[in-house]
Amino acid sequence: MSVRIYNTLTRSKAPLVLLDSKRVRMYVCGMTVYDYCHLGHGRVMVAFDVVTRYLRSRGYVVEYVRNITDIDDKIIKRAQENGEPIDALTARMIEAMHEDEARLNVLRPDHEPRATAHIGDIQRMIQTLIVKGHAYAADNGDVYYRVRSFAGYGKLNNRNPDEMRSGARIEVGEAKEDPLDFVLWKAAKPGETRWPSPWGDGRPGWHIECSAMSTCCLGDSFDIHGGGPDLTFPHHENEIAQSEAATGKPYAMVWMHAGALRVNDEKMSKSLGNFFTLREVFEHHDPESVRYLLLASHYRSPISYTADSLEDARRSLVRFYTALEGVEAAAGEVDGSFAERFFAAMDDDFNTALALAALFDLVRELNRAKGESPQLAPALAFELKRLAAILGLLERAPSDFLRGEAALPLPAEEIEARIEARAQAKRSRDFATADRIRDELDSLGIVLKDGREGTSWVFDKR
């Protein structure tokens, strides 16, 4: 079965057909680095990390580009508020972004172009658009894209420009021919970062940055363009208009958009007090649990982030790691139906929810084998880890996750000492003391598991 992907442009699923045999060229809109990454950013990071991992597991050569917007109105404003140079702010936020994605086990993209390194490419694309009649330099020093010059405008969002024009207006200081026109080059205001250009000193508009960076890295046409749910309009619509008008070629063949992330069923917003950066969440929750939560729903489905949903994610990982505990994974023959279901789910528009369901059934089979057919357990554990790694999960030693020493109510050494004291009490047939030790540990969330190899334990936060 071939990989099928839902295309926002066609509003349908279709097999992935590549422009260049088995080479997948994918561009994803990245972060505007004026602040720390929030949960919504994490959703997009993880979604396209899994797309990349899965396609590579299927034998595709993936060239993954995710840009960095390092010049923008928000960046300028934040640097002024902080009293720091723009490049100092963006360098600090980029480093923090890389730290956050590493904790989420997100692989770095193959290319991470920055807008400020592509000013020349941006200006050349703008000049091409002016020559072709798709853009114009206004008297105020701005350069605008002439929306009505592009016949396909609105096709990504299935919107009619005439309908969009209703209610649109020209803001004070703008010199547009039409309210729908958008800025490609902004004339610099006093004290702002600027670059010289044929139209005067200024800086690029946001939309043109991605058009220039994507085509510079991947060519005029490429296979997949991805991003967050809020980018379909106007950002991605404008990218299509700019790029196809400039090159005369189709831009991205497939458009993928991750679903929205909501907090307690409300839009995440600082004004509502429900805005969380990734590092704030990581202070209280294991990053792998956050990754699991982001994978437990299909990437196009909305996710509601709640304390209960994150706790469910943690408990699911406890089940996985508990099944792996005490088993030395080794390649061997296993029932192939688990892998078949896993790959069938992922082939169908990267359905991680169904893929995880197949892995849960594999966990049940592993737990059964540990008790009834121990010789099969190593191969089942190997298969579980192999498939889970495609999702970026279960890559730690089970003890590292299950014990979670940073959150333990007792030092691990003391827990081990109490377990040994319990064992000694049992050997002495002092079962009342043994039961008391178990109950004391259980009240602290330390759950004991007796087995042929001795007693193991797991910390259950409850």
Q: Sign (positive/negative) of CA torsion 67, 69, 70, 71?
A: positive
pLDDT at 414: 82
With a pLDDT cut of 90, the percent of the chain lying above it is: 77
Q: Buried b / exposed e across 10-46, counting CB within 10 Å, b at 16+?
A: eeeeeebebeeeeebbbbbbbbbbbebbbbbbbbbbb
Provide the pLDDT confidence category of residue 266 given band limits of 50, 70 and 90. confident
- 412 pLDDT above the threshold of 70: no
Q: Residue 400's pLDDT is what?
A: 85
Query: Is residue 163 pLDDT above 90, yes or no?
Result: no
- pLDDT greater than 90 at residue 445: no
User: If you search the block for the tokens 């929810």, which residue do you land on?
Assistant: 353
Q: How confident is the model at residue 413 (pLDDT cuts 50, 70, 90)?
A: low
> What are the boundaries of each domain within the chain?
18-258, 262-402, 404-459
Q: Residue 459 in contact with residue 406, Cβ under 8 Å?
A: no
pLDDT above 70: residue 407: no
| Rg (the chain; Cα; Å) | 27
Do residues 207 and 240 make contact, with C-beta atoms less than 8 angstroms apart? no
Angle between helices 337-347 and 377-390 (to 10 degrees): 10
- How far apart CA 51 and CA 223 sit, in angstroms, is 13
* Binding-site residue set: 29, 210, 235, 239, 270
Question: Phi and psi at residue 143, in whole multiples of 5°?
Answer: -120, 130
Residues making up the binding site for Zn(2+): 29, 210, 235, 239
pLDDT at 94: 98
Average the pLDDT over 92-107 and give the result.
98
3-state secondary structure the chain: CCCEEEECCCCEEEECCCCECCEEEEEECCCECCCCCEHHHHHHHHHHHHHHHHHHHCCCEEEEEECEECCCHHHHHHHHHHCCCHHHHHHHHHHHHHHHHHHCCCCCCCECCEHHHCHHHHHHHHHHHHHCCCEEECCCCCEEECHHHCCCCCCCCCCCHHHHHCCCCCCCCCCCCCCCCEEEEEECCCCCCCECCCCCCEEECHHHHHHHHHHHHHCCCEEEEEECHHHHHHHHHHHHHHHHHHHCCCCEEEEEECCCEEECCEECCHHHCCCCEHHHHHCCCCHHHHHHHHHCCCCCCCEEECHHHHHHHHHHHHHHHHHHCCCCCCCCCCCCHHHHHHHHHHHECCCHHHHHHHHHHHHHHHHHHHHHCHHHHHHHHHHHHHHHHHCCCCCCCHHHHHHCHHHCCCCHHHHHHHHHHHHHHHHCCCHHHHHHHHHHHHHCCEEEEEECCEEEEEECCC
Please report where in the chains the tokens 């730690």 appear, as a residue: 396
Confidence at 306, pLDDT banded by 50, 70, 90: confident
Lowest mean pLDDT among 158-162, 177-181, 326-330, 435-439: 158-162
Rounded to the nearest integer, the mean pLDDT of the chain is 92
Confidence of residue 272 (pLDDT cuts 50, 70, 90): low
- 284 confidence band (pLDDT: 50, 70, 90): confident
For the domain spanning 262-402, the CATH number is 1.20.120.640
pLDDT tens digits for range 199-230: 999 999 999 999 999 999 999 999 999 999 99
Q: Where is mean pLDDT largest: 54-58, 164-168, 172-176, 395-399?
A: 54-58
For residue 198, the model assigns a pLDDT of 97
Give the C-alpha separation, 73 to 188, whole Å. 11
Going by pLDDT thresholds of 50, 70 and 90, the confidence category of residue 376 is very high
Q: 154 pLDDT exceeds 90?
A: yes
**What phi, psi does 374 have (nearest 5°)?**
-55, -25
Lowest mean pLDDT among 95-109, 170-184, 188-202, 270-284: 270-284
**How high is the pLDDT of residue 166?**
61
18-258 to CATH, choices 3.40.50.620, 3.40.640.10, 3.40.50.1970, 1.10.1740.10: 3.40.50.620
Mean pLDDT of 1-17: 95
Predicted confidence (pLDDT) at residue 53 exceeds the cutoff of 80? yes
Span 143-167, average pLDDT: 90
What residues are designated binding site for ATP?
Answer: 270
- So what's the pLDDT on residue 262? 86
Tell whether the model's pLDDT for residue 1 goes beyond 70. no
**Cα distance between residue 397 and residue 381, in whole Å:** 12
Q: What is this structure's pTM?
A: 0.88
